[in-house]
Copies of this chain bind each other. A is one copy, B any other.
Amino acid sequence: MIGTSNDSSQDLFGLMSRLYPLCRSITGDGVRQTLKILQEYIPIEIREVATGTQVFDWTVPKEWNIRDAYIKNPEGRKIVDFQACNLHVVSYSAPIRKKVSLEILKAHCFTLPQHPQWVPYRTSYYKEDWGFCLSHQQLQELTDGDYEVFIDSSLKEGHLTYGECFLPGSTDDEILISVHVCHPSLANDNLSSMAVASSLYQQLSRLSLRYSYRFLFIPGTIGSITWLSQNESRVSRIRHGLVLACVGDAGSITYKRSRRGNAEIDRAAAQVLRDSGAEHRLTDFSPYGYDERQFCSPGFDLAVGCFMRTPHGTFPEYHTSADNLEFLRPESIADSISKCMGIFQLLEQNKTYINLNPKCEPQLGRRGLYSSIGGQTDGKIRELAMLWVLNLSDGTHNLLDIAEKAHLDFGLIHDAASNLSRHDLLKEI
């Protein structure tokens, strides 16, 4: 169930390379084009919600589109060009075409003095304004004079666009995977998650599943609010969920727990990360971050955690032009996919069994449950796993409970349960 072939990894890099240049925002054609490209990989349904639609406390904003933008210096030379890098324009900038003094220009420019070569990423969704982002070095080279600023954007009645992709399982219980798609040319944040989510869909679609999986490709905040608002009646089906963000950098994995703190998804993620033996971080829920903020708002309180590598704001490339395709690591993408699949596999397999022979141990040797074992050490631990499963399968412990108590890998516990079930020593309840 696990693993990404080199082929599919290449494939995902192809996907991200195509998506990278698009100028995404919380609305507009950038998101539409992104979702259309994703449709070549997985069967996403594209949904449109009209500007002005009330979604809880919020209103779907005007649709923003941009065709071109630049700054020309007093000599008439384009010194900042949207066509070269879409981060140059503050997202949701209002249209403008005029000559401004250097002083006024500077008041509308954003730079990163600590990283003078990098262009920052800025937005102004809910306050109408205009602005440019450029490297600090470039800003410092500007001389006095009148500059022509041009932003050919539009902010009009239109739609908020998002993608949804549903993979039915044998039950109506759902696992939610949510990915924000509103960032322009930033790679880790969040092309990495679009690629990982696509791969997860592809891999899951080949399996026989207990859970149904719902994938959301949505603009951050307003997207999850819109989806929750329009799908309130369906929300109770969501048993577990992961928000994916920044899953392609070289760092180790960070799992941020759901508001519940000890939900099955939280324990499943912790178990998979522990079993992996790889370095990782578990952090408690806080109401700051990605769309888990909405899924875990008190009126919903869904069991949705956030799966990241290096968390937002803790790597210098975050929200800058340095978060580009080169910042991604193929092995990190593959590892994120593998760990998420591990979590889903655990949830699929995390059932409760009852020991059919609860009084004393059954005679395992008579059933060949010792001899079927390969190496000595390996055999010992498989035997121990069987003893733990038998001892704790009293109807109150599921396999994850048992793995936690036994301090053994979930896979070992699950194999033990399968083995014991085959010999009629255990029954799923």
- Which A residues lie at the B interface, using CB under 8 A? 55-58, 126-127, 221, 224-225, 228-229, 232, 259, 286-288, 293-294, 296-301, 355, 357-363, 365-366, 384, 387-388, 390-394, 406
Contact present for A365 and B126 (CB under 8 Å): yes
Question: Nearest-CB distance from A427 to chain B (Å)?
Answer: 13
**CB within 8 Å for A287 and B387 given contacts A359-B299, A365-B126:** yes
Q: How far is the CA of A259 from the CA of B402 in the complex (A)?
A: 13
> Which residues of B have CB within 8 Å of A299?
355, 358-360
Q: How far is the CA of A296 from the CA of B358 in the complex (A)?
A: 10
Question: Nearest-CB distance from A231 to chain B (Å)?
Answer: 12
> Which residues of B have CB within 8 Å of A228?
359-360
> Which residues of B have CB within 8 Å of A221?
361
Q: Which residue of B lies closest to A387 (CB)?
A: B287
Contact present for A224 and B288 (CB under 8 Å): no
> Which residues of B have CB within 8 Å of A361?
57, 221, 225, 287, 293-294, 297
Choice from B56, B287, B366 contacting A357 with Cβ under 8 Å: B56
Contact present for B298 and A362 (CB under 8 Å): no
Choice from B293, B294, B362 contacting A57 with Cβ under 8 Å: B362
**CB within 8 Å for A360 and B288 given contacts A298-B391, A365-B127, A391-B296:** no
Of A301, A358, A406, the most chain B CB neighbours within 10 A belong to A358
> Which residues of B have CB within 8 Å of A58?
360, 363
Contact present for A126 and B287 (CB under 8 Å): no
Q: How far is the CA of A127 from the CA of B366 in the complex (A)?
A: 9
Q: Which residue of B lies closest to A221 (CB)?
A: B361
Choice from B56, B293, B357, B406 contacting A387 with Cβ under 8 Å: B293
Contact present for A388 and B56 (CB under 8 Å): no
Q: How far is the CA of A374 from the CA of B287 in the complex (A)?
A: 21
Contact present for A287 and B388 (CB under 8 Å): yes
> Which residues of B have CB within 8 Å of A390?
287, 297-298
Q: How far is the CA of A287 from the CA of B416 in the complex (A)?
A: 14
> Which residues of B have CB within 8 Å of A394?
298, 301
Question: Nearest-CB distance from A234 to chain B (Å)?
Answer: 14
Q: How far is the CA of A359 from the CA of B126 in the complex (A)?
A: 20
Q: How far is the CA of A341 from the CA of B252 in the complex (A)?
A: 46
- The 8 A-B pairs at the shortest CB distance, nearest first, are namely A299-B358, A299-B359, A287-B387, A298-B394, A287-B391, A57-B362, A225-B360, A294-B360
**CB within 8 Å for A384 and B288 given contacts A57-B357, A224-B360, A366-B126:** yes
Contact present for A393 and B298 (CB under 8 Å): yes
A-B contact pairs, 27 of them (CB 8 A): A56-B357, A57-B361, A57-B362, A57-B363, A126-B363, A126-B365, A224-B360, A225-B360, A225-B361, A228-B359, A286-B384, A286-B388, A287-B384, A287-B387, A287-B388, A297-B359, A297-B390, A297-B391, A298-B355, A298-B390, A298-B391, A298-B392, A298-B394, A299-B355, A299-B359, A299-B360, A300-B359
> Which residues of B have CB within 8 Å of A393?
298
Q: Which residue of B lies closest to A55 (CB)?
A: B360
> Which residues of B have CB within 8 Å of A296?
391
Q: How far is the CA of A286 from the CA of B406 in the complex (A)?
A: 7
Question: Nearest-CB distance from A360 to chain B (Å)?
Answer: 4
Contact present for A360 and B391 (CB under 8 Å): no
Q: Which residue of B lies closest to A390 (CB)?
A: B287
Contact present for A360 and B297 (CB under 8 Å): yes
Of A56, A58, A359, the most chain B CB neighbours within 10 A belong to A359
> Which residues of B have CB within 8 Å of A300?
359-360
Of A57, A58, A406, the most chain B CB neighbours within 10 A belong to A57
Q: What 11 additional pairs, Cβ within 8 angstroms, besides A56-B362, A57-B360, A298-B393?
A: A225-B361, A228-B360, A286-B388, A287-B384, A287-B388, A294-B360, A294-B361, A298-B390, A298-B391, A298-B394, A299-B360
